[in-house]
Structure 1
Amino acid sequence: MDTKIIGSKITQARKAKGLSQAGLAQQLFISPQAVGKWERGESMPDITTFHRLAAMLDVDLNYFTENSPAGTGTVASPAEQPAAASLPSQERQVALHLTAVDMQQEDFAGATLHKGKFKAGSLHSANFAGADLTGSTFEVIDAREANFDRANLTDCSFSITDLTDATFRQSILVRTTLHMSGQGATFTDVTFLDVRITKTDLQQTRFERCIFNATDFQQCDLRGMHFDGQTFIGVQFDKSALKDASFSGATLRNVSFKLPFSLTNKSHLDFKTVCFDGATMDKTTYAALKGLRVTDLSKVTVV
């Protein structure tokens, strides 16, 4: 199908209904930029959206085919819709490889992209809000100020990626891997489930109201980090720098701290600066921390 022809027909039907691009986008729960791309012929709705679009614009699905004359009509009943076979019966997901591509401020909001590969390119200020990026990889990417709010990042991998000022609000992080990335990002209302964070400088990263479940911090720089009031279940801090880190008011259950190897007592001295005041922890976590004999646990609650 010619995307420009389809875009022209969407434009004509939208105007016939007296709708703006923003008004149509609001009814479809998508961004106005997505509607604009359809109408310019730069992209095309998926089959589910075609059905919703047809009903909203009072046209049948045949209206969008290349040979159908422009104009509006009545929405076809389910029994009358076999003629729409010219549209794809189902949407096939293909892996897209985007290497050394400049996609600054690109709009991927609400998009579905499984096993995509973003490599050695720029995603500065790109918008992935609400996108399904399951299984995708981001390698050596400039993703400063990118928006990953509510994005599905299950089985995704971020490697040597600059995420300065990127936002992850209510994002889905399951079996996600972060390696040498995350600097300056903000994670808000996120549940980290079976996540691996390895050799990552997180000093400028902000975690707000997060839950860490079965998550590993391996050789990370967490100096000065504030995890106050957050929840840690089955978490390992493996040889991570924690000087001046704070877990005030946090909940810790089955949490392990393995100090970095040092021929001197530096790592033990650094761990003495970690604050657990007001934290609640289970007996095993408390016993393990007490065994290190390097931090003040006088103000914790053991349950």
Structure 2
Amino acid sequence: MDTKMIGHKIAKARKDKNMSQAQLAGLLFISPQAVGKWERGESIPDIVTINRLAEIFGVDLNYFSENFLSTDKELPSNIAGDNDEQTAAEVFTRPERELLTNFSGGNLTKSDFAGVTAHNRKFNGSALRGSDFAGADLTGSSFTGSDIREAHFDKANLTDCTLSANDLTDVSFNKTVFVRTVFTASGLAGAKFIAAELVDVKLNKTDLRKTVFEKCIFKGVDFKYSDLRNVCLDGQTFIGVKFDKAALNEATFNGATLKNVSFRPTYALTNKYYRAIKTICFDGAIMDKLTYAELKGMGAELSKVTFL
């Protein structure tokens, strides 16, 4: 394998991305000196790291191959070389590749993950402030105890993702896909959910008082122990949603559509809870008769509600 050729290509791709050696090293959890050695041809990355480099640079693995062989071209069966010293063509044209899965504990501030496919990755205890995940497919990934402030998840796929104890201040979720996504004990002050569809999502013990929701559809969502005081949910759609033990004082559902929505806690109703329900505004809301009956039984003001 031509180490100088590989090093030259790494350097060129890095510079094309306007990235310093230190920035690249940070994404790979290695030292800048190691990147320097690659680029000078003094050493070469292992196969897993080369896969990660291809993702970071947005290039096909063949970019690193001396002959730029396509992935569907059959390789000669008589290529010389030790099993531990594969040629570039052998390394870079394998249909199945082991990819880096654990990004935990890294300084990934303002990293570019836009458009990547990254299933079942771990971003735990990571610095991700200002990072761009727009359009990324993050199915099955976990984010725990991470600083994700000001990150962008616009049009990203967060199916089966777990987000626990994160700082999600001012994060953008514009047209993001949420299916069975779980938010737990995370700060979402200033976070924006715009035109997002949330299906079978759980928002547990989450402070949503300063979270922005606009034009969203909630299906099978469970707001358990979450704080929604003073939250504006006007004009949005709620189907099969549970507000279980949620704080809803002064929340507004003006013009919202509610079908099979439960506001009743699993524990016994208290005078305090009755008083809280009476502060919720449903002016112009449209709801089914069962939801209406439940709210009416708890003393909610429903004089301006119409039926589905």
Match 2:151 to one of 143, 146, 153: 146
User: Percent of pairs identical after alignment?
Assistant: 45
1:122 positional shift: 1.1
Partner of 2:295: helix, strand, or coil? helix
Deviations, residues 25-52 of structure 1 (Å, cap 9, x unaligned): xxxxxxx669x97xx9782259x9639x
Match 2:54 to one of 23, 44, 52: 44
- Who is 2:262 aligned against? 256
Work out whether residues 70 and 93 of structure 2, in 8 Å CA contact, stay in contact via their aligned partners in 1. Answer: no
Work out whether residues 255 and 283 of structure 2, in 8 Å CA contact, stay in contact via their aligned partners in 1. Answer: yes
Count of equivalent residues? 263
CA separation of 1:249 and 1:143: change in aligned 2, threshold 3 A: same
Which runs of no fewer than 5 residues in structure 2 stay unpaired? 25-35, 40-51, 76-88
- Who is 1:54 aligned against? none
Match 1:164 to one of 164, 169, 190: 169
1:132 positional shift: 1.1
CA separation of 1:93 and 1:270: change in aligned 2, threshold 3 A: farther
Residue 98 of structure 1 pairs with residue 98 of structure 2: no
- Who is 2:93 aligned against? 88
Q: What are the residue-to-residue correspondences of 1:49-64 with 2, within 5 Å?
A: 50=60, 64=64
Partner of 2:273: helix, strand, or coil? helix
Partner of 2:193: helix, strand, or coil? strand
TM-score, normalization: structure 2? 0.75
- Who is 2:47 aligned against? none
CA separation of 1:160 and 1:86: change in aligned 2, threshold 3 A: closer
Match 1:179 to one of 175, 181, 184: 184
AA at the equivalent of 1:6: K
- Who is 1:6 aligned against? 9
TM-score, normalization: structure 1? 0.76
Work out whether residues 9 and 64 of structure 1, in 8 Å CA contact, stay in contact via their aligned partners in 2. Answer: no
When the two chains are superposed, the root-mean-square deviation of aligned CA atoms in Å is: 3.1
Match 1:287 to one of 271, 288, 293: 293
Match 2:112 to one of 107, 110, 119: 107
Match 1:117 to one of 106, 117, 122: 122
Work out whether residues 93 and 114 of structure 1, in 8 Å CA contact, stay in contact via their aligned partners in 2. Answer: no
Q: Which runs of 4+ in 1 moved over 3 A?
A: 1-12, 48-51, 75-79, 81-86, 91-95, 259-264
Partner of 1:285: helix, strand, or coil? helix
